[in-house]
Amino acid sequence: MHATDERPNDIILGLDLGQAKDYTALSVTEVVGSPSGEPNRYAVRALDRFHPDRYQHVVDRVERMLPTLRQDVHVPPAGAWGGSFTYVRPRVTLVLDRTGVGRAVGDLFTEARLDLDLQLVSIHGGDTVTTDPDGGWRCPKRDLVGVVAVALQNGRLQIATQLDHAATLRAELKNFRARIGANGHDSYGAGDDWREGNHDDLVLAVALSLWWGERSSGIGFAPVPADLQRVLAEMGV
């Protein structure tokens, strides 16, 4: 618990579940306050990349992080005269990619009822965000790529160099490419496909955090240029 004169920033965890021998990646991103009406800024505070022995170990790993992430913040009264101090916890949201093997892990997180807001996202190759019957989200791959591209281009994404796996994340970003599929749909990934070629697990974990941060901000998404391939090239990504 610590004292401050500001409300705590929201924390968004992005979780990409790896298949078989692939890495599972977890990002911890802070939504940094911006002036009213301006897009959010984001700071990646921690990165984790590991091979879980069992799916339950992923849940346990996140649960162990929560006491640190949800420390009470001492907030003084809003009025100038009197009033009592309050203790406010940062809002923590976990955004989990439940495409493929992620569905089983999503069920485990639902059953665990951890002290966080759980958002389950299935990634598809279309162009529209929809909801699943169980309340989850269906998100186009192009939206995830676009939110990372725009945040980097506008200087709204910060990645501390001293973080574990920061060098790996930067390498993934350099390998990250966009292409327009022959069938008219957008498909993106490190190499020729979202799940093939170079690893992109950390990029996807961060993208999930940013996507939810933009969606839940109340401001809406920053405009995404139509030609994402050109935008990525201009950014050197």
User: Residue 10 maps to which CATH number?
Assistant: 3.30.420.240
Range of the domain at 188: 2-235
Of 13, 44, 12, residue with least CA distance to 172? 44
Tell me how many domains the chain contains.
Answer: 1
pLDDT per residue as tens digits for the range 137-190: 999 887 888 888 788 878 888 888 888 888 888 877 766 644 433 334 455 554
CA distances from 122 to 26, 91, 119, 128, 223 (A): 17, 23, 10, 12, 22
Q: Tokens in use for 90?
A: 């940062």
Q: Tokens in use for 60?
A: 């346990």
Percent of the chain with pLDDT over 90: 29
Global pTM value: 0.79
Of 31, 27, 42, residue with least CA distance to 6? 31
CA gap 211, 192 in Å, rounded: 22
Q: Tokens in use for 147?
A: 């939110």
Query: Which of the listed ranges 19-28, 32-41, 53-62 does the model predict with the highest average pLDDT?
Result: 53-62
